[in-house]
Chains A and B, each alone.
Chain A
Amino acid sequence: MEKAMATFHKGTLCSAWNYSSTRLATASSDGTLVIFDSPHPSSSSTSFTPTSNFKAHEVAITKIVWVPPEYGDSVACICSDGTSSLWEEVVEDAQPLQWKLCKLFKSNSSQILDLQFGNSSSGLKMIAAFSDGYIKVYELMDPLNLKNWQLQAEFQNVIDSISTVRKSSCSSASISWNPHRGEQQSSFVIAFSSNTPQLNSAKVWEFDQAHHRWLPVAELALTAEKGDEVYAVAWAQNIGRPYEVIAVATQRGIAIWHLGLSPDMDGRLSRERVALLSGHNGEVWEMEWDMGGMTLASTGKDGMVRLWQSNLNGVWHQHAAFEPTS
């Protein structure tokens, strides 16, 4: 059932596969970035070997995110010191193919907790979540040049835009773009784990083209649970459903939300929690939807990989659980 694909160096902290699952990037506590490729690329399940290995930072890299393929082979690293960098594999000025630093993102007052790229019709956008509860949206100015970014918007993860939360401290954040490709409006869901209740709950933000601003269109939390710290969010691929499906993990479990497609009078989207799945009994590390948006995979502090599905009656349940054993 399982097949080893590659082994990592000591100190490796995180890994990420590219869009086609044919390249793997890993990063370590000493700031080294390693790219793995398969010697036989046509077959996806052969073993992978390191093809690039370079020091990207002096500090630990805690997360890697691939940039959408329309912008080349490029990864963003989030570091333990709260900075973030963008690296690109490129041939430049008659030099051989190599990974080059394109951009360094840092803020003096706060740290980057998570970032994600969204590929909209108007270009590439990057959402970064900061430790002070702020969300920054950057836009790429030139689609062939990853060095040039512009800050498009900056706001806090609160529904009521009048109240600004000061002096909050967030320990983690999770962002997930609406994976839809094409002309549709940009939207994403973001949630925090912080000491400020109103920042925490998962909120769906949509770009309002007419007024050129980001608006919160839904809050994915029951009234009594709005202050819950959120571990992870994951927006499911929608290949034709009349509603969106988003998973939100808190200490209560993994909540599956249905989100309506058309807004009401106030510009809000209808939402309904259709399931609350318990299993990990604690922190959920990661969640990811499969390509059809039907099965959710999650990993958590219980050391398990769990798969979740809805049955024919729309009842969500654990479909399978996997435990790594040596």
Chain B
Amino acid sequence: MPGPASDSSPSGALVLSSWEAREVVYPIRHELKPPIARLSISWARGNSFRVSIFTQHPANHTSDSNDGEVGGQVLEVKIRNGDGEISAAEFRRIAYGSVSPFALLQSRKHMVSGLSKMSMGLPRFNPDGWEYLAEYSKDISSVIGNPKLIPSSAIEDPLEILKKVEEPTCLKAAWELMDVFYADKQSHWWLNERLVDWLAEYDSVLSTTQSTIHSKLVDFQKELNNLQVVEDNPRYWDVILSALAVGWQEIVVKMLRLHGSYQLDQLSRRETENGLVEAVAFLISEMPRMRPELDSGKFGQCFKTKPDFTKAWEKWRSKITKLDGSGFWVHCTHVQTRKGLQNMLRIILGDVESLSGATCNWMELYISQLLYVRPFSMGLESMYNLAEKCMQLKPASNTDRLMALIIGILGESPEIVLAECSRGFGPWMATHAMELLIEENDEAETLLHEERHDLGGVSIEELHRLVYAQVLCSHAFTWQIAPIYLTSCAKQGIGFLETLLYSQAVQHNGVLLKNLEICRLYELDSLSSNIMKIAGVYHWKHGRKGCGVFWLKQARDEVRLNKIAQQLFDSVGKSISDESFKQWEGLIELLGSESKNTGGLEFLHKYRDFKKSLHQVHQKGKTTGAAQSAVDSLIALMKNPSTPQRFWLPILNDSLKLIDWHGGPLLNTEQTNLLLNKLQELSMAKLRPDFVESDLPPLALSSIRLALAKNLGRAFLEGC
């Protein structure tokens, strides 16, 4: 996702921090020549906006002298989310992937809260809550991605001390950290070892500003191929101590085996030295670990209970002490090796000074102490105190976001944790991590669920979800999943959703149908009809009248349908082409007649029948059968009270040919009298002020009158 300079994304702080924003000015690069006369701004969907930039032009400018010159430009600016570590496409993948775990968790929470209400207020009736949460956390974690081993050759390279893996993301590291502390409560008895594992996996992304043990190893790996006698190189021992400090035992053992004393030609001269190296390697690989198991290829003995572990731990340490005090050291003539090995013993004996010297930052020092100094899990408070001590020993000029996050976690401050999630990792993280924070934590629940007047009556939880939904809205590919998050917002979610749906363009059928489907799903009936209304007017105005009427009918927009019916009336009594008649007829058909308010439609339908039969009379020539059915339509029309008076004369005028039928009278006496009466009524109505004069020729009335008289006379004669 594009965004401003990497360490100062404006969306990082967003609404959600309690800090004031920094005075950073981001550039908007354009291709115009200064000076700029004016800027115009318009929000697009979500958190992107558009800026129109207009250049100043000379006063004597005439429109044709500068043709082709650019007078301005419009640019879209997307306020970036996160730090740019994750590409836009990857973000969309994560966004889509996290929808279903989120929705599942919400529905389970909903169910559980329903159950606990039923169980008469028993405190937190939530037997499976942890499992749900752990499952959610694992699901999300797998969505963010797993670091994959890059396949290497079948024969193991003895010089390859670091296994090649795809670089993990900082986001993943943060999520895993949250998982360790908040989701996977069943593993809390071996929290220390989990943190050791965590560091082993994510040390490479721990800091962007300070060196790490991982970066030291990477550098040394590059050097390694060119080193002849590794044990003479102080960097060799330095790197071994560092790796040992944070518990990367398999790397340490592998590196020790590169020691020159293992070489065949050295056996006779350096056997004591080699024995010591191997003894240390053995001790390291025998280290008791307070954890259920170790991955294959990792060293150590696992213990699940404290007494067993303590016993093994004491025994192991006594072996170290014994080795440390043994007389063999005197016979080790290689100074670097002797010092290096003894330093290693100091590390595994938990000497803080040695640990501090071997680690690069306070976080590594902290985890090394959890491994060698305080291997038993302890309360968060003492963990925090220990962290503080480590920070004093290894102060950092600026705090990296992962370290800031762990300080927040250890400090047991949900507010800081959430702020760090939001600031460091963006709205996606904040929204999804809140679920972990809130479970069984009253302080977090109060903090996140309390409605705040300053925030417009919403809770912090809702605010974060709204902000994330806004991010989703800004892209054409992700707006469709925003409703899932918005509907979990009790106060403002639906209002936001309505705004989002209203601002979708209706002219694209696909979007329109998707839009209406979402409306149906969340029962947004009035919005749905409004959208259909917009679509109806759009199509009507753009010449697709049928489509327009269809959507207006769907919208039940009586007012506009009535106006359309009125427009159709305008064609009454006018001669229209076959083409427009067909269109006109089709529209009447579409308008239907079930609608209550469009009373005039009944008339239009009858008039349509009449016009149709009249058409046939004109087309088929002078067949009396067709003419007779036209007369029937005429009489039906004139008898019907819904036929507006203003149309009587045009209709009769249209029917002149029928009334004055060459092959004998088509209307009987009664029918003729009906029409004569209508004519009489019309001449009376003419005297009234509200009479609408039709635009027929003045003689029309008298010629109708004459034709009717003739017909009446002939009807008499035929004795009808």
Contacts and interface: CB of A to CB of B under 8 A. Distances in A.
Interface stretch (B10-18, B287-295, B358-366): B10-18
A5 interface: yes
B542 A305 contact: no
A307 B15 contact: no
Interface in A142-181: 142-145, 181
A305 B26 CA distance: 10
B78 interface: yes
B495 A325 contact: no
Contacts of A319: 10, 13-15, 21
A288 B43 CA distance: 7
A245 B238 CA distance: 61
A14 interface: yes
Contacts of A90: 541-542
Interface in B1-40: 2-4, 10, 13-21, 23-34, 36, 38-40
Contacts of A8: 52, 54, 70-74
Contacts of A238: 495
Contacts of B495: 238-240
Interface string A102-123: 0000000000000000000000
B589 interface: no
B76 A2 contact: yes
A187 to B, nearest CB: 17
A311 B15 contact: yes
A69 to B, nearest CB: 5
A6 to B, nearest CB: 5
B500 A291 contact: yes
A241 B463 CA distance: 12
Contacts of A20: 503-506
A320 B491 contact: no
Contacts of B500: 291
A249 to B, nearest CB: 13
B422 to A, nearest CB: 10
B543 interface: yes
Given A44-B45, A322-B51, A240 B458 contact: yes
B20 A289 contact: no
Contact of A5 (B13, B21, B75, B491): B75
B40 A14 contact: yes
Among A9, A16, A20, A245, the most chain B Cβ lie within 10 Å of the Cβ of A20
Contact of B29 (A16, A299, A309, A325): A325
By secondary structure, the B interface counts as mixed
Contacts of B39: 285-286, 299, 303-305, 324
Interface string A265-302: 00000000000000000000110111111110111000
A324 B51 contact: yes
Contacts of A3: 2, 75-78
Contacts of A237: 499
B66 interface: yes
B75 A69 contact: no
Interface residues of A, number: 91
B47 A10 contact: no
Nearest to B503: A20
B454 interface: yes
Contacts of B476: 42-45
A290 B47 contact: yes
A214 interface: no
A97 B538 CA distance: 12
Given A291-B473, A298-B41, A320-B4, 4 more contacts: A3-B76, A21-B50, A322-B27, A325-B27
Leading 9 A-B pairs by shortest Cβ distance:
A314-B454, A239-B495, A91-B543, A241-B456, A8-B72, A240-B492, A320-B10, A10-B71, A20-B505
Interface of B: 2-4, 10, 13-21, 23-34, 36, 38-54, 57, 61, 63, 66-67, 69-80, 452-458, 460, 463, 466-467, 470, 473, 476, 491-492, 494-496, 498-500, 502-508, 510-511, 526, 530, 533-534, 537-538, 540-543, 559-560, 563-564, 567
Interface of A: 1-17, 19-22, 24, 26, 28-30, 32, 41-45, 48, 69-73, 88-91, 97, 142-145, 181-182, 237-243, 245, 285-286, 288-295, 297-299, 303-305, 307, 309-315, 317-326
